[in-house]
Amino acid sequence: MNLFEKVKALISARTVISDYGVKISKNEMACCPFHNDKHPSMKVTDDHYHCFGCGSHGDVISFVARLKGLSNYDAACEIIREYSLPIETEHSIKDKERKKFLKNKSQESYVTSVKKQFYGWVNEKVHELRDCEELIAETKEYILRTDPGVALNSNRFAYMLQKESTIGYWLHILCMGDDADKRSLFLEEREEVNRIAANIKRAGNEILGSSRKCVG
């Protein structure tokens, strides 16, 4: 079936012609809208119309086309739209493609924003973990220089030493690893990395701060 046949199979000429404002009597007669018709001279059936006055004749599509000054194709599309007929037209296909395109676009921009977040995180953590390494080194040196006893008694310092190799391992992945390694670190251990980096900073600053206070 072509487009016109599909439309005609789904809706009767009588329904559409009547909906477009032509009053149809019980004996299927109506005043013809295509000539100055005083007495009903157009016969309207389920599948066609015929005017005995002016001779205009056609189906539901040519009726709408003539009434609205449209091509048959545009008239068919108008009927499909007006009655929400389940028929695909170039318009509805284009519409579908447009929606699909927009959906893809929004998925794309979502992926872009996750990527941005990922690379931003990698950058940020490289700096933060390097700071942690420096802080651990500084703390070690400080303790050795001022009060080696802290190294034996401080839980905080023990924590820093315990995490030192983990920090080094993460830094290695973030600086030298391939994208898959970085991604899995980001996806699976992001919270852990953030948490431990924050703990190291706090522990280091507390030790350096309190040692400074004790010395000062």
Query: Which residues lie near Zn ion (CB under 5 A)?
Result: 32, 34-35, 51, 53-54, 56
User: Which element (helix H / strand E) includes 25?
Assistant: none
Q: Read off the tokens for 201.
A: 């900073």
In 3D, which of 53, 73, 51 has the Cα closest to residue 62? 73
Our CB check for Zn ion shows the closer of 17 and 51 to be 51
Residue number, 37 or 131, with CB nearest to Zn ion: 37
Name the minimum Å distance from CB 7 to Zn ion.
23
Single-letter residue type at 199: N
Rank residues 30 and 203 by Cβ distance to Zn ion and give the closer one: 30
CB of 20 to Zn ion, least distance (A): 15
Angular region, 122: left φ>0, alpha ψ -120 to 50, beta rest: alpha
Shortest gap between Cβ of 106 and Zn ion (angstroms)?
A: 53
Where is 42: in which H helix or E strand?
strand 42-44
Q: In angstroms, what is the minimal distance from the CB of 55 to Zn ion?
A: 7
Amino acid in the structure at residue 142: Y
**Calpha distance 156→82 (Å, rounded):** 74
Nearer to Zn ion, 51 or 75 (CB): 51
